[in-house]
Amino acid sequence: MYIDYLISSIGIIRIQANTKAINSISFVETVGMDIHSNSLIQTCKTQLSEYLNGQRTLFSVPVSIEGTPFQKEVWNALIDIPYGNTYSYQEIALAIKKPTALRAVGTAIGKNTLAIIIPCHRVLPKQGGIGNYHWGKSLKETLLNLEKLHNNQ
């Protein structure tokens, strides 16, 4: 298990990987004492920095995430949301051909452990507002504004 941190303009990002893929990206309050990095994490840190600077809209670092087949289907639909765009929970449910599964879609989105790379921050309630985000509404709004700013340049 490898763990490292990216200290960024929007907070501290904890990155966890094995020898083959990144398996967790999350926002934390402090840098832990558990730093043990590898080249995959270094590549991920570079790609995340490029994203935050508006130089990257897609990620190429290999990822692996544990979940049910339904959760993986939802997470794959999130990856398909174009940079700088947002979808509603209903649009995700329709994209996976389960139009009545809104609550299950929301639950799956909440279980995403790969912040930014699986862009759950791009999903908003159909009725308006910012909606929830595992790492806080303020951070979700920051990510959306960052993408909007760089998408319009």
Q: Using one digit for the tens of pLDDT, what is the confidence trace for 61-75?
A: 999 999 999 999 999
CA angle (74 as vertex; 111, 88 as ends), nearest 5:
95
**pLDDT tens figures, 17-51:** 999 999 999 999 999 998 999 999 999 999 999 99
Give the residue from 82, 115, 80 showing the smallest Cα distance to 94: 80
Q: Is the pLDDT of residue 87 over 70?
A: yes
Q: For all residues of the chain together, what is the average pLDDT?
A: 95
- Is-above-0.85 flag for pTM? yes
Q: How far apart are CA 42 and CA 130, in angstroms?
A: 32
Q: Are strands 11-17 and 123-124 parallel, antiparallel or unpaired?
A: unpaired
pLDDT higher than threshold 80 for residue 128? yes
CATH 1.20.1330.10 fits 69-151, yes or no: no
Q: Parse the chain into domains and list their residue ranges.
A: 2-52, 69-151
Could you confirm whether 120 is annotated as catalytic?
yes
Which residues are CB-neighbours of 119 under 8 A, at least 6 positions away? 78, 79, 81
Q: What is the pLDDT of residue 153?
A: 61
- Out of 120, 143, 144, 146, the active site residue is 120
What percentage of the chain's residues is helix, strand, coil (to nearest 5)?
Answer: 40, 20, 45
